[in-house]
Structure formats: C-alpha cells, structure tokens
Amino acid sequence: MSGIVNYLLYYSAATANIMPITSVCNVSCIFCSHRHNPPGVDTYHLPPLSVDTIRDLIGFLDAGKKIVIGESITKINEGEPFTHPDFFAILELLRGAFPSTLIQITTNGTLLTEQVVRRLTALAPLELNLSLNSANPGSRRALMNDKAAKLAVESPALLASCKIAFHGSIVGLPHLVGWPDIRETCRQLDRCGAQTIRLFLPGFPAFSPLAGCYPETSLAEFAAEVKKLAAEITVPLTLEPQVPDDVQATVEGVIASSPAALAGLRRGDIIVAVDGNAVRSRVDAFGQLARRLKADVIVDRAGVTRRLELVRTAFQRPGVVMCYDIDFSLVDRVKGMASERKATATAVLTSEFAYPLWHRVFVDQSGMDVFPVASRFFGGTIKAAGLLTVSDYQKAIDAIQVDSRYDLIIVPQISFDPKGLDLSGKSYLDLWAAGAEIAVL
Ligand code: SF4
C-alpha cells in the first residue's frame, strides 16, 4: 500500500471515526460516483485490508463517537463492506474494543441474507444505512446491476424482524424507474420501520451520459415530490442535496420512539432556543441538542411558543431530523481570519449549492463578498464544494480580482485533502491572486 493511502487510512480513523476496510464492490450502479470521472481524477482503490491493519487502525478510533464503516471522507473509494472476507472478524474486533459504541455500516444490501442479519444481532448496538434505491427487483437490477435484487429488496423486513435499526436511501432516477417506483420504495421503507429515508438528487459529471437528464429544474421537482410524500408517510424523509434558503431550525421529522419523539417534538416545529441559548441555524440547533443529555427546548409551532424537555442517555441520539444549512462557527472563523489579517476587502468563495445561503448570511458584513464557484473540471450537474478543484477556483479568482480589489480570498477546506491537494492532485498553494492572500477555511 502506498504511503499516501496509508496516511489517509489513519487520517480517516483518527479525525472522523471512519474505518475504510475495502473499495471492492459487488454491483455497478449507473449513478456510482467512481464512474465517468474526468481524466486526471486522483482517487485510490483499497483492496480488503488485513485484520492486522484493522487492529492497528482501531487504536485511532474514539469510543465516544459512532464508528462508521462503508463511507469515505478521503480520496479512498468506498466499497461494499460485506464483501470483505473477514468482515465479521472485524466487527467482533471492534465490538471487543468498544463494547457499547454504535457501529454504523453503509451497505448496498446485496449480502443481507437471514444468516448474516442474525449474526449482526449479536453485535449490537449497530445500525445500517441501506442503499435500497428501489423496492422493485427489476428496477434495482436496472439501476445497480444487482443480479440477486430480491435479497436486498426483502432486507428491510428482515432487518425489522431482527430489530436492527436501519436508514434507507434512494438515488432518485425518475427518468429510468418513474416516480411511482420511488414513492413505493419510500412507502416500503416506511412500512418496515426505517428510522429515516434520504432521497438523493443525483449529480453527474459532464462525462456521464446521464448528465443531461437532471437539469437545474429537477431540484424543484424533487422537492415537490418529497413534500407530498413526507406528509403521507410517518418516517422522516429528506432530500439531498438541499440547502434551505433560511437559517430557521425547522424540524423535517422526528425518529419514532427517539428522545425527540418522547419530548413531543414534531415535524414543522422551529427550534428557537436550547437551554436559554438562542439558536442560530439548523446546524447550531442540532449541535446543541447533540451535546446535552437533558435540554430545555423552546419551539415555535405554527406561531405558538412551546417548551419541551428532551432527555436522552449517552448512547442515544436526539432523533431530530433537519436539513444541513450553515455552520456559524465557519462564519465566525471567516470574520476572525479577516480581522487577524487586517483585511480591508475579503472574498469568500463557495459552491453554487451553498452560495445563496452564504450570500444571505454575509450580505450585511461590510468589506466581505461571497462568490459562487462553478464546477468546470467535473462539469455536468456537479455543484458541490467537495468536487471543486484548483482550476475551478483559479478561474473564479481571475474573474473577481481584475482590479486587485480583494486583499484576502478564502476558499473552503472541503475541496482539499489533508495534504492540501484537490481531486486532480493540485495543491491549493498553486492558487494565485495579484495583491491578495489566499487562505483555506
Ligand atoms: S453500491 Fe456504492 S460503491 Fe457500489 S457501485 Fe453502487 S454506488 Fe458504487
């Protein structure tokens, strides 16, 4: 294994409690982000890690935070964890080292046989993120090339009967399977007791033959569908990516039997204050609830103020489901960076998705402007900051810095790996603007 992959493994475990174990996957989804990348994308394929390496990585995990398997925050491609030949040995090692820490496994569901699910029950507490995509075997086969689609389609009922908590996810491709298929998949997840459902509006780079299928208007279409369905089913349903246009801490849904449900929180409530602290955004409200075992919560319910008490144990999460809006600690850091450097004019660069909300938050900050950066390297319908590259940022900087107007230009850290490299392998240190310092937030 190369030095950089080794570094990313330990970085992932130590900073995010994420255990990459393999990049091997046993299906080939037509929406998989590993397909149709432009030439020059710098990502890594991880063969199944040895149990010895896993044992070493476990030493870097934090017992106080959930342990995540099957996700990636680095350039290591995520794979299907259940394909790892020693997966149960790994889970048993983790459980031995952390008897009560929640283990979260993201899976495509292809290998969830009755025998596998029954073995999982002995490893509680754990929860699954099930990428179901369709509850119809034919549609699932078409979307994911899953030859044994029936097994995954039946897995929600099996998980429910074995009392294993799970969340469902669907990458929405209505032009292929139709909205009735997506609606029925949500209903099936609801009937089987999923804790939450996430519907993803897919983003496709310019190289993908599907890039033209989901223009900007698709977001409104997806949002309208989610609104109708969320009112019909009981499980909290959210659309991703969706950046709200305000910072009111609106509750999208409440997980059944969770501390939030027992406290009386409901979909549509706006969390106004927690233990007397005014809430600044959804991210702030969620963070405040996640830090407390007991919280006095003031909500606005259709114009009427209510006081609720949310109580949970150290191993429970609050159970409130909200969209991601803005992390005000980042806003405060931008202001701090400008103040430390005595900048007179600061430009904050952000993704096209985040721009409307960031612009609204910064509109009254004199001497600071926010600009959206178009994703040209990936192109297509990609608008997320995680896929912006040095070449995208340089083009945006060249356009705004024609008269050396800014003395500080800030770019988001999420576009760069721990060594400061973007997905094309270029360093943020290569960014250049006449008369300005460029800093990473
Ligand atoms: S299950 Fe995930 S990793 Fe595997 S092909 Fe589908 S999207 Fe890609």
Query: Quick one: pLDDT at residue 70?
Result: 93
Pocket test for ligand 1, best of 29, 36, 145 (most atoms within 8 A of CB): 29
Query: Quick one: pLDDT at residue 113?
Result: 97
Ligand 1 atom index nearest CA of 35? 8
- Determine contact, residues 213/229, Cβ cutoff 8 Å: no
Question: Whose CA is closest to 40, among 423, 430, 420?
Answer: 423
Write down the residue that tokens 């990502």 correspond to. 43
Distance 91 CA to ligand 1 centre (A): 21
Q: How far is the first Cα of the chain from the last one, in angstroms, to the nearest whole number?
A: 31
Write down the residue that tokens 């283990």 correspond to. 103
Query: Quick one: pLDDT at residue 61?
Result: 96
Q: How far is CA 145 from CA 63, 137, 183, 422, in A?
A: 37, 10, 21, 31
- Averaged over successive runs of 10 residues, the pLDDT of the chain (441 residues) comes to 86 93 95 80 90 95 94 88 98 96 97 97 96 97 95 97 97 95 98 97 87 82 95 94 90 95 96 96 96 96 96 91 94 95 96 94 86 93 91 96 93 92 93 94 92
Angle at 170 between CA 167 and CA 176, to 5 degrees: 165
Query: Quick one: pLDDT at residue 253?
Result: 95
Distance 427 CA to ligand 1 centre (A): 28
Pocket test for ligand 1, best of 34, 44, 72, 108 (most atoms within 8 A of CB): 108
Q: In this predicted model, what pLDDT tens digit does every residue of 104-131 receive, in sequence order?
A: 999 999 999 999 999 999 999 999 999 9
Distance 25 CA to ligand 1 centre (A): 6
Question: SS3 for 218?
Answer: helix
> Which residue owns the Cα nearest ligand 1 atom 3?
79
Question: Whose CA is closest to 80, among 36, 130, 35?
Answer: 130
Question: SS3 for 140?
Answer: helix
Query: Quick one: pLDDT at residue 213?
Result: 82
Query: Quick one: pLDDT at residue 75?
Result: 84
User: DSSP label at 216?
Assistant: T
> Which residue owns the Cα nearest ligand 1 atom 8?
32
pTM across the whole model: 0.91
Query: Quick one: pLDDT at residue 3?
Result: 84
80 lines ligand 1 (CB under 6 A): yes
Ligand 1 atom index nearest CA of 23? 3
User: DSSP label at 47?
Assistant: P
Query: Quick one: pLDDT at residue 63?
Result: 94
Query: Quick one: pLDDT at residue 214?
Result: 81
Determine the Cα–Cα distance for residues 261 and 275; give it in Å rounded to an integer: 18
Distance 417 CA to ligand 1 centre (A): 22
32 lines ligand 1 (CB under 6 A): yes
